[in-house]
Structure 1
């Protein structure tokens, strides 16, 4: 693949599974550095800060710095700051979301918000559902970091941010603005972080429903790696479901390295 401005690389399922590095992920990132290919780690996970994501990668042996990470929290904060500068924001989420919004100069409040932002929130309860749905019915904008219904963990699959968002949407009667994959906004923001036109970016990921769909919607080229959610056996089903078509398919990260010439 020629004329790559930068790679936007998914994490879980592409470079690691939970706390276990996928074979050759460390070599891939090291090779990109040597070749001078710009990249960002791009994740729907809103719970961690940039530094926490980078530390997680380093703990598995993948060299990473905080400024090389783009999360759905960062993209959501950027969206709200652009659309509603100085807005009062109620956050239903964890440390990564709170940190991103405070650093974006937005006002995090507990009452009368103009915007309700929700990500993965493991302390979510009925009281939080009642407040969020009331605020949205009263006119607050509803922003969802990512629509993932399930969250892989070391203890198995747990409800994701999208499952919580579905409850809030049902209770408020209002659909959210979705920032993360499979929508295009986070991909466009990641390209902006790197200072390149979005069409010069290449999205690399394991999931047809999120990574490849988001890249296509954003106008990027896409590379599917068969290291996670999408496999040879289910590829056709996902292709029919999403309508997405990756530009390239690689069996594993070793093949991706050969394809990229790193």
Structure 2
């Protein structure tokens, strides 16, 4: 088996299940730490800052984590825009929450409250209003570039599967007939950004529980993948897929570095 020099690792379903820890995941991270193998937690969630995610891992899951070990779709969006934007064209109309706001502001984008923006950037927004949708729609119609942090249709919760950021994306796409550039897994921009943050390792691997986000993200980035059956995808589902993960395990205790 190839030795991997860096790991990109999903969170929900891989490291924990909602608020419930996955003990094998903690042991897996401990092995990476002891072997001094670099890793980065890569999440489609744009609502939390890396510091918030790191705090949750450290306090609630006993996995000591620093903010620079977390790469959110909000950070990936800011990195993508920083390369795409030209001087004098850095205004953003944002639909999203604190994680996205902080990432864009830290990257020196000017968040404005009307439809004169150069970019419309949307993530999950649990305070979504019609006025926000209207402003974003008008801005896109006037030529603003449409960027979506992620297109996840649902958000798992104790109550069930709630509407995700993808429902907002679909509303704007319906209103404007414009398809957005999507940043998060399984799209390529988040993987390009994450690999860059790790120094573009020679033999990285993507680890996750969801074939349609994590594993396809690795396949799209042309890197090896490890599917763990602790979350979304099942062996029966994977049998039907034309493109298979490079490796699969029932739990992360089975994985040898």
Query: Which bracket does the TM-score occupy, shorter chain normalised?
Result: over 0.9
Answer yes or no: is the 8 Å Cα contact 1:46–1:71 preserved in 2: yes
Answer yes or no: is the 8 Å Cα contact 1:10–1:204 preserved in 2: yes
Answer yes or no: is the 8 Å Cα contact 2:238–2:244 preserved in 1: no
Shift of 1:85: 4.2
**Residue aligning to 1:184:** 188
Find the aligned partners of 1:126 and 1:196 in 2 and give their Cα distance: 42
Unaligned segments of structure 2, at least 5 residues: none
TM-score by length of 1: 0.93
Counterpart of 2:92 (choices 52, 76, 89) is 89
Answer yes or no: is the 8 Å Cα contact 1:4–1:202 preserved in 2: yes
Q: Deviations over 1:185-241 (max 9, x none)?
A: 1011101001024x622000001100000111111110110110011232234x2xx
| SS across alignment from 1:157 | strand
Counterpart of 2:157 (choices 141, 153, 157) is 153
| SS across alignment from 1:102 | helix
| SS across alignment from 1:216 | helix
Shift of 1:22: 1.3
Q: Verify: 1:6 aligned to 2:10, yes or no.
A: no
**Residue aligning to 1:30:** 30
Counterpart of 2:215 (choices 203, 212, 215) is 212
**Residue aligning to 1:247:** 246
**Residue aligning to 1:115:** 119
Unaligned segments of structure 1, at least 5 residues: none
RMSD between aligned residues: 1.2
TM-score by length of 2: 0.95
Matches within 5 A, 1:118-157: 118-157=122-161
Q: Segments of 4+ in structure 1 off by > 4 A?
A: none
Find the aligned partners of 1:3 and 1:189 in 2 and give their Cα distance: 22
Aligned residues: 253
